[in-house]
Amino acid sequence: MITAALTAAMKARESERVAALRLVQAALKNRDIEARTGAAPADDDALVIEVLQKMAKQRRESIEMYTNGGRDDLAAREAFELEVIESFLPAQLDDAAARDAIAAIAARIGATGAKDMGALMGAVKTELAGRIDMARASRLARTVLDT
């Protein structure tokens, strides 16, 4: 999928998109090499999503830093890369849907208080991986457990 997008961008002579897609490919290749030295990954799709989410998080942080530093040109480049990266990620749950999903998981595993936060987040990570940022999931889980 990424290779096909890279080929299409090259044919359309979209140099910025080509550069962003090459960054994605390089990150995936590096992660693949790292995975070969250890145990085989359980799911290739999960590995790709993990890499893309990490890259997206890095871009969001960079955009914030560049904007605060008055470097709007660099922030714009990072925003474009973020847009390209996010186009390959699964659709993210909105807050209401994420809260409902986390509440359902909490009810199923019997999580009722702050002491159950670790178990709840473990279940959320396995069930909602790729569809919600774990920092956001943690904030929502706290509100679910407090109510």
> Which range is least confidently modeled, 17-21, 72-76, 121-125?
121-125
> Which domains does the chain carry?
2-86 (1.10.1510.10), 95-146 (1.10.10)
Three-state secondary structure along the chain? CHHHHHHHHHHCCCHHHHHHHHHHHHHHHHHHHHHHHCCCCCCHHHHHHHHHHHHHHHHHHHHHHHHHCCCHHHHHHHHHHHHHHHCCCCCCCCHHHHHHHHHHHHHHHCCCCHHHHHHHHHHHHHHCCCCCCHHHHHHHHHHHHHC
Percentage of the residues of the chain whose pLDDT score is greater than 70: 95
Residue 40 has pLDDT above 60, yes or no: no
What pTM value is reported for the model?
0.73
Q: What is the pLDDT of residue 112?
A: 84
φ/ψ (deg, to 5) at 55:
-65, -40
Residue 116 has pLDDT above 70, yes or no: yes
Residue 147 has pLDDT above 70, yes or no: no
Residue 136 has pLDDT above 90, yes or no: no
